Amino acid sequence: MLAKEEQAFRNWLAAFGKRMESGESNAMAALFAADVVFHLSPFDAPLRGREAVEDHFRKTLAARESIRFTAEVITPAHDEGWAHWACGFTRTGTDDPVRQEGIMRVVLDDSGICTHLQQWWNSIEPGQSDLMRDTDA
């Protein structure tokens, strides 16, 4: 990948993380093209369009507090970037910690806006496993 394209992916990923942590669903939606295709998981129908993405993040982020998001670039390629991400938060109104971790594939247009995003991830929440006691989610 050209340095410019790699930097565009790193910038997009950093902006995604900041907006995730701040809970700004409308600012989050601005990172996506009007006709974006967003696969939340391999088994769900994709969200289509910026409005659907904004609606998803409005609902999702409203139910979270103390969000911490990190991401590490796995590989930037010519037309896409791959990253490993982790997100920890508590459910709104509770002290129940949640940890999510996954991989994302992001395709950006020439202006650095996401046109396609696919995620593969898993989550651990209280009551799911004895492992939750031993994590710092």
Q: What is the pLDDT of residues 62-100, one digit of tens each?
A: 999 999 999 999 987 667 899 999 999 998 888 889 999
Is 3-134 a CATH 3.40.630.10 domain?
no
pTM for the model stands at 0.86
> What would the pLDDT profile of 43-57 be if each residue is shown by its tens digit?
999 999 999 999 999
pLDDT of 2 strictly over 60:
no
Classify residue 43 by burial, with Cβ atoms within 10 Å: 0-12, 13-18, 19+: exposed
Domain residues of the chain, as ranges? 3-134
pLDDT at site 54: 96
**pLDDT tens readout for residues 99-121:** 999 999 999 998 999 999 999 99
Pairing state between β 81-91 and 32-39:
unpaired
**104 has which bridge partners?**
83, 119
Mean pLDDT of 114-133: 79
